[in-house]
A and B are shown apart, each in its own frame.
Chain A
Amino acid sequence: MAKSASIESARDHTPPVVELRVQAHPDQLAVLRAVAAAIALQHDFDLDTVADVKLAVDEAATRLIMASPDDAMLECAFRAAHPLLHISLSAPAEDASSIGSPRSFGWYVLNSLTESISVTTEDSVARIDMSIAESSADR
């Protein structure tokens, strides 16, 4: 299984994706942060970028968790393509309108941490897609 998967991904030149499913609960934020940091470090992003990745994941996941019903699951997918790290997070949302209110402080923070970010809602599942660039603060 693993072998054929790695051959396939090598063939289509898509960087490997790491996926994670956790309960949509604030207790899980530490796990998400640790995994996000480990992936960014593994791909040799500098420590400023690693710190930004942690803050962004924390903030994006918190927004989704706050909007999700009890017992929901949060899904998180990471794909590193140096100098960019793409992260998608999704969770069922009771009220998706609060997640991406574009002029809130939290959204402002997310924007300053990321190269690009968007929120989409489909079938009551809200999804945040974001890319973080190495040294994005310098641009």
Chain B
Amino acid sequence: MTRNAGRSSDEYADVTETLRTLLALPEGDPGRIRIRDQVVERCLPLAEHIARRFDGRGEAFEDLLQVARLGLVNAVDRFDPERGSDFVSFAVPTIMGEVRRHFRDAGWAVRVPRRMKELHLSLSKATSELSQQLGRAPTASELAEVLGIDQEEVLQGLVAGNAYQTVSVDRSSPSGDDGLTLADTLGEYDAALDEVENHEALRPLLEALPARERTVVLLRFFGNMTQTQIAERVGVSQMHVSRLLTKTLAQLREQLGENF
């Protein structure tokens, strides 16, 4: 995992060829999906390498990794060998773009001292570790004990997290699926959705959400899972789940207007 992706594009030389084979298959051929999955899996170290380059800048590594993998899937789907470049020189900027967008969207809304950002990050890490051990989300006093700091400081760090940008105003939601198979389709929640008065209005809005956002909303409100359980299932931090929920609810509220 410590290989240098920049210098070792030869290492992935076969990928460009494999993707050519994929594109030669007719649209809808089951072989396409199989090859696509193979390529994604083959290139996972590339995504990890890029995620590592952005580690330590105030975002949880697991979130960076997930975003980088998302970028990889996009790169595989959008790669066009006819344009003359090899896959790696196309994929690296695509993945980095996705990670950079994550930083832009998940920025701090107000100026927060560096010490506070670091505290917030170490709280995020400790929260993941403790959740694994305890099988539930930790409390402020448990975090204080593990980190060897005052509970007061934990409060400050977590409340400072409220200054974290949750809704970016200038970004329209991408309607495309992010290609991750999260296996949570609306169909599984039909019965629950029917309980909602305006489900005819709600349903297309939920369908238009990116897969990750839709999964988080469905699992929390229709699947009765806690944020910690969802975090584990989706492979991001609990804080990220919390942000996604806040953002998505605000968006749905705006779209549904009176009907929310």
Which A residues are closer than 8 A to B by beta carbons? Answer: 30, 33-34, 37-38, 41-42, 44-52, 54-55, 58-59, 62, 98, 101, 103-106, 108-109, 112, 135, 137-138
Q: How far, in whole Å, are A51 and B197 apart by their CA atoms in the complex?
A: 26
- Pick the contact of A59: B198, B202, B242, B249 (CB < 8 A): B249
Report whether over half of chain A's contact residues are helix, strand or loop; otherwise say mixed. helix
Further 9 A-B residue pairs, CB within 8 A, beyond A46-B137, A48-B228: A48-B238, A55-B245, A103-B195, A104-B198, A104-B260, A106-B256, A106-B260, A112-B220, A138-B226
Residue interface bits B126-170, CB-to-A below 8 A is 1, else 0: 010000000011111100000000000011001100100000000
Minimum distance in angstroms from A111 CB to a CB of chain B: 9
**How many of B's residues come within 8 Å of A, CB to CB?**
37
Chain A residues whose C-beta falls within 8 Å of the C-beta of B246 in the assembled complex: 54-55, 58
Q: Let me know if B162 and A103 touch, CB within 8 A.
A: no
Q: Let me know if A41 and B159 touch, CB within 8 A.
A: yes
Q: Let me know if B196 and A104 touch, CB within 8 A.
A: yes
Q: Let me know if A112 and B224 touch, CB within 8 A.
A: yes
Q: Let me know if A108 and B249 touch, CB within 8 A.
A: no
The residue in chain A whose Cβ has the minimal distance to the Cβ of B260 is A106
Chain B residues whose C-beta falls within 8 Å of the C-beta of A45 in the assembled complex: 139
Chain B residues whose C-beta falls within 8 Å of the C-beta of A54 in the assembled complex: 162, 242, 246
Chain A residues whose C-beta falls within 8 Å of the C-beta of B249 in the assembled complex: 55, 58-59, 109
Q: Let me know if B140 and A41 touch, CB within 8 A.
A: yes
Chain A residues whose C-beta falls within 8 Å of the C-beta of B162 in the assembled complex: 30, 33-34, 37, 54
Q: How far, in whole Å, are A47 and B130 apart by their CA atoms in the complex?
A: 11
Chain A residues whose C-beta falls within 8 Å of the C-beta of B227 in the assembled complex: 47-48, 51-52
Minimum distance in angstroms from A104 CB to a CB of chain B: 6
Q: Let me know if A46 and B139 touch, CB within 8 A.
A: yes
Is B25 in contact with chain A by the CB < 8 A criterion?
no
